[in-house]
Amino acid sequence: MGINRQQALDCFASDDLIGIGMEADAVRRTLHPGGVVTYALGSADPASETNSTATMTIGQGESVEERIAQLEKLRAEQQETGAFHAFRLMTSAALAPDDPTAVEYLKTLAISRLYLDNIANIEASLDTQGLKVLQMTLRFGANDAGVINETTEEDIRRVIRGAGLKPVERDAEYRMHFLG
């Protein structure tokens, strides 16, 4: 079982970002032992999904307790229904005074990986975080680079390989199509 509410609060209070990231990466390696990171091309058809992606947006003035409450709801729903292929952590699109830093994004993503151990795939947000932070997320529990629209497939594959992992194209159902 994933971490509990108190452990999540302790992680958010901790300044040991590397330790939290290492714990989350250990969960990723357990769930995905081949070192594979998936991505989908912009042509992936989300309408073809039978299961969905749970999304949480941070940076809208929410508290740590509200983030944990959202994670609790998602974990309970997944336990009851098995509805989610993946979890995606986003930041608000508009830059705001409370827009999360890259460190806050990485910490929240790692805690999400630890908390949502019953959701197989954790998707990083390339759209809101950029390639460099995306590469870091792959060692903080994420195993999916999301749908690629604004950058090239080769850039994504280079970033994944640069993190020491194997890029694999997938479809909306997380079926792998291309190894390399």
pTM of structure: 0.90
Q: How far apart are CA 16 and CA 146, in angstroms?
A: 27
CA 105 to chain centre: 10
Please tell me the predicted confidence (pLDDT) of residue 93: 65
* Domain with 166 in it: 5-179
Below-70 pLDDT ranges, the chain: 1, 43-51, 93-97, 178-180
Please tell me the predicted confidence (pLDDT) of residue 94: 58
Report yes or no: 122 and 116 within 8 Å, Cβ to Cβ: yes
Number of domains in the chain: 1
The 10s digit of each residue's pLDDT in 32-63 is: 988 999 988 875 455 544 568 999 999 888 99
Longest dimension (CA), the chain: 41
Q: What is the CATH number of the domain that holds 133?
A: 3.20.20
Please tell me the predicted confidence (pLDDT) of residue 77: 96
Q: How far apart are CA 102 and CA 133, in angstroms?
A: 7
